[in-house]
């Protein structure tokens, strides 16, 4: 096995002998065999063991791993983690929580030791079980290709590869090797617990298929995974070119596509791009199922027929159309993109109302009070205009959408002082935009027509007088409040983004 293992390493894992390799060693036969093989070939292994404290024999595993590390004279790092607490707080299964903590620990230690890779002991049997699990849950090409012997980037790192040097060897080969070199692995009784899907496949379904359908069923699944991995690699190369042309922007909590370019891609590449965006936004998320990707494909196709659109994908991810782009957002990115919501889009606390006498200056209450991500606020100022005729020429040349001059002559006639209101939209609001000759339309229709981003509409500040919207900062003033040669009383309004 030593010679075959050496050849598999050279071809598939891209490891060198001059830099350390961090190995996840549980104490079971697979990981102990992997450690012994790498040490025997002259590599520089570092043993990393995580005690999940999930079963009575966990401390015995620590002793076995410690003794083997001392015998082989290799560095050892051990950590203890509370898997049950993470599972409860994160709403994960015990199995998934353990996996998350384990890989996080391994890659953190790989950075500490400047390791060239993290190695784990998955075998060909594990590959078959993984592919069958994906098949039963519903998967695409990425799931049917199974695990890879060399993964970079991966869900845990952009720089450190995850390698599986035993992926070309069966569990019986591993057990024979352990017997040959007198290695005594720990016995994990949880591997017999058929409440776990993987164990049911291993102990029930695969033996049944071997007995009644095909004795070589495992080898067929393993070969299929290898073949599809090669084809998926080719698809990924095409996908990389499509990614470069389709992606408009990547920000924390958001991946945005050029909608027209994305729609023109073959459906297979659309699926690939959606999955890649999901992987960026939710690293480590598994089981992106058929329904999710098909929901995304349908949304991409239908988005041409509507001004604005939104659909929920999974795990708090949202697919939205905004103007000429399509974006996938996390919950936090969907509600509050730190850049756009603070600097590009004026926002105020939803449901808020500010009364502003003329003249005055006020700071709008932020969309999310107390948010550490908010580094910008919006300041509103209003003042009387003394020289109205002199201002008319300035109004015509105004290119700043966040300042405006308004005629308030009718209102001043009725009251000795003037108070403006700044608020967010209300149901049933209407607006008479300048340029429609006094005709009104629903405020919601105006926002759609002007392509105000859907996410920003509910918190967009509106300047009102006597409950009527007279200015939408960044867009339009009311036709009824435009300056004319007969204007007697006017105000100058300004909305400014200020750095806190």
> With contact defined as beta carbons under 8 Å apart, do 74 and 102 qualify?
no
How far apart (Å, rounded) are the C-alpha atoms in residues 124 and 63?
28
Please check whether residue 361 lies inside any domain of the structure. yes
- Looking at the structure, do residues 111 and 68 belong to the same domain, yes or no? yes
Q: Tally the domains of the chain.
A: 3
- Looking at the structure, do residues 300 and 419 belong to the same domain, yes or no? no
How far apart (Å, rounded) are the C-alpha atoms in residues 287 and 290?
9
Indicate which CATH number applies to the domain containing 254. Answer: 3.30.465.60
How far apart (Å, rounded) are the C-alpha atoms in residues 12 and 167?
10
Q: CA 41, 46, 49: angle at the middle one, nearest 5?
A: 125
- Looking at the structure, do residues 92 and 169 belong to the same domain, yes or no? yes
Beta-carbon count within 10 A of 453 CB: 20
- Looking at the structure, do residues 58 and 190 belong to the same domain, yes or no? yes
Cα-flanking dihedrals φ and ψ of residue 241, to 5°?
Answer: -65, -40
Give the domain extent around 118.
2-122+164-213
Q: Tell me what pLDDT residue 373 has.
A: 43
Please check whether residue 128 lies inside any domain of the structure. no
Q: Who contacts 141 (Cβ-Cβ below 8 Å, separation ≥6)? A: 228, 231, 232, 235
Q: Tell me what pLDDT residue 339 has.
A: 47
How far apart (Å, rounded) are the C-alpha atoms in residues 316 and 304?
24
Please check whether residue 131 lies inside any domain of the structure. no
Q: Look at the chain and count its residues.
A: 500
- Judged by DSSP in three states, 278 sits in helix
Q: Tell me what pLDDT residue 138 has.
A: 77
- Looking at the structure, do residues 380 and 439 belong to the same domain, yes or no? yes
- Looking at the structure, do residues 79 and 204 belong to the same domain, yes or no? yes
In the DSSP assignment, the letter for residue 217 is: H
Largest CA distance in the chain: 102
Please check whether residue 146 lies inside any domain of the structure. no
Q: Tell me what pLDDT residue 251 has.
A: 87
- Looking at the structure, do residues 359 and 327 belong to the same domain, yes or no? no
* Residues 399, 403, 404, 405, CA torsion sign: negative
- Looking at the structure, do residues 330 and 399 belong to the same domain, yes or no? no
Q: Tell me what pLDDT residue 208 has.
A: 97
In the DSSP assignment, the letter for residue 433 is: B
How far apart (Å, rounded) are the C-alpha atoms in residues 167 and 144?
15
Indicate which CATH number applies to the domain containing 46. Answer: 3.40.50.620
Please check whether residue 148 lies inside any domain of the structure. no
Q: Tell me what pLDDT residue 416 has.
A: 63
Cα–Cα distances (Å) from 14 to 97, 159, 221, 287, in that order, read 30, 14, 25, 28
Q: Which of 290, 317, 335 is the last residue of a domain?
A: 335
pLDDT < 50 regions, the chain:
308, 338-339, 371-374
Torsion of CA 407, 412, 414, 415, to 10 degrees: 140
Indicate which CATH number applies to the domain containing 414. Answer: 3.50.40
How far apart (Å, rounded) are the C-alpha atoms in residues 450 and 166?
58
């Amino acid at each position: 096995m030593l010679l075959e293992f050496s050849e598999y390493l050279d071809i598939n894992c891209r490891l060198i002998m001059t830099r350390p390799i961090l190995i996840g060693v549980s104490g079971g036969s697979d990981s102990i065999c992997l450690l012994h093989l790498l040490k025997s070939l002259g590599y520089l292994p570092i043993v990393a063991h995580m005690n999940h404290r999930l079963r009575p024999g966990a401390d015995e595993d620590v002793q076995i791993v410690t003794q083997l590390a001392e015998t082989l004279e290799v560095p050892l790092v051990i950590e203890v983690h509370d898997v049950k607490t993470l599972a409860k707080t994160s709403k994960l299964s015990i199995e998934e929580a353990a996996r998350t903590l384990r890989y996080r620990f391994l890659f953190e230690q790989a950075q500490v030791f400047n390791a060239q890779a993290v190695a784990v002991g998955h075998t060909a049997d594990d590959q078959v079980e993984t592919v069958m699990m994906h098949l039963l849950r519903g998967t695409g090409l990425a799931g049917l290709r199974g695990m890879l012997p060399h993964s970079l980037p991966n869900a845990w790192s952009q720089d450190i590869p995850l390698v599986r040097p035993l992926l070309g060897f069966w569990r019986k080969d591993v057990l024979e090797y352990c017997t040959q070199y007198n290695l005594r692995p720990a016995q994990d009784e949880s591997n017999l617990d058929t409440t776990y899907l993987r164990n049911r496949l291993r102990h029930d379904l695969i033996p049944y298929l071997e007995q009644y359908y095909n004795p070589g069923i495992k080898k067929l699944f393993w070969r299929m995974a290898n073949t599809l991995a090669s084809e998926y690699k080719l698809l990924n190369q095409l996908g990389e070119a499509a990614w470069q042309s389709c992606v408009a922007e990547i920000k924390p909590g958001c991946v945005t596509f050029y909608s027209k370019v994305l729609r023109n891609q073959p459906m297979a590449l659309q699926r690939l791009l959606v999955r890649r965006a999901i992987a960026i936004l939710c690293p480590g998320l598994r089981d992106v199922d058929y329904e999710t990707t098909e929901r995304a494909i349908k949304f991409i196709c239908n988005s041409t027929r509507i001004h604005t659109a939104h659909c929920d994908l999974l795990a708090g991810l949202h697919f939205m159309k905004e103007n000429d782009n399509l974006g996938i957002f996390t919950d936090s990115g969907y509600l509050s993109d730190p850049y756009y919501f603070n600097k590009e889009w004026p926002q105020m606390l939803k449901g808020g109302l500010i009364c502003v006498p003329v003249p005055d200056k006020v700071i709008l209450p932020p969309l999310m009070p107390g948010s550490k991500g908010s580094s910008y606020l919006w300041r509103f100022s209003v003042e009387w205009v003394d020289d109205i005729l002199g201002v008319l020429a300035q109004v015509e040349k105004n290119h700043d959408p966040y300042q405006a001059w308004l005629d308030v002559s009718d209102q001043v006639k009725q009251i000795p002082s003037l108070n403006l209101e700044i608020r967010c939209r209300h149901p049933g609001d209407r607006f008479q935009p300048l340029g429609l000759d006094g005709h009104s339309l629903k405020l919601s229709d105006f926002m759609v027509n002007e392509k105000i981003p859907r996410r920003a509409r509910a918190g967009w500040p509106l300047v009102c007088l006597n409950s009527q919207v007279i200015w939408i900062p960044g867009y339009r003033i009311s036709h009824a409040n435009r300056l004319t040669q007969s204007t007697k009383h006017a105000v100058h309004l300004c909305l400014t983004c200020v750095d806190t």
